[in-house]
Copies of this chain bind each other. A is one copy, B any other.
Amino acid sequence: MKAYELVLQRIEAEISEGRLRIGDRLPGERALAERFGVSRTSVREAIRVLEVMGAIRTAAGSGPDAGAIIVAEPRSPLTSALRLHLATSHLPIADIVQTRVLLESWAVREASGKAGAAELAGAERLLDAMDDPGLAPEQFHLLDAEFHVSLSALAGNVLVSTVMASLRDAIHGYVMAVVPELPDWETTAAGLRREHHAVLRAVRDGDGDAAASLVAAHIEDFYRTARL
């Protein structure tokens, strides 16, 4: 077994057994190297891996925020992995869109009637912000992504909403590359706004079936228009 794998295993075990919890600080790299009987380099490789996996956050310097701190950021590793495998062309964009439709329509159906006014407030605020007619496409899409993610979060499934967010992040670049090609951005945006409001209304009214089919059509329409 490689040295960094050993370190990885040991640290993961400590997290698993609850000896390390979120917010805790790992010992310094030099201390870990000594404890595990490996070089600091190997410890660093393990730390790197944990960092890109979203399990820890590192910062130099001293003080309470310095060092390697246990966090739970499941979104970033999913996003990176998706982006990377999208790049190898072994993961068709069509599959991503299909998965989005699947997850998101399930989420809004699940959320319908279940989500109270307080939970819906965040989504409404995003829609309000998107109503600004002077918004640049880039800003619009960032808000759009946030809206869809917050909608998915209403279903209360951490995994689903995390995957949703990662899917959005991973294809964001592709979407933005295609926006300038659109024949009429203003018209497209107006349609998107209208559809967003309709979806949110269905969720608020507790009409799960309507919300699901609306959101599915909304997503599929956009990708058809964008020819992705």
A interface residue numbers (CB < 8 A to B): 4, 12, 15-16, 21-22, 41, 44-45, 48-50, 52-55, 70, 72, 74, 77-78, 80-81, 83-85, 87-88, 90-92, 95-96, 98-99, 102-103, 106, 157-160, 163
Contacts and interface: CB of A to CB of B under 8 A. Distances in A.
Given A22-B88, A91-B159, 9 more contacts: A12-B87, A15-B88, A44-B45, A49-B49, A52-B53, A53-B80, A74-B81, A78-B78, A95-B160
Contacts of A70: 88
B72 A77 contact: no
6 contacts: A4-B48, A15-B88, A45-B45, A55-B84, A96-B159, A102-B160
Contacts of A87: 12, 15-16
Q: Which residue, of A74, A88, A91, has the highest number of chain B Cβ atoms within 10 A?
A: A88
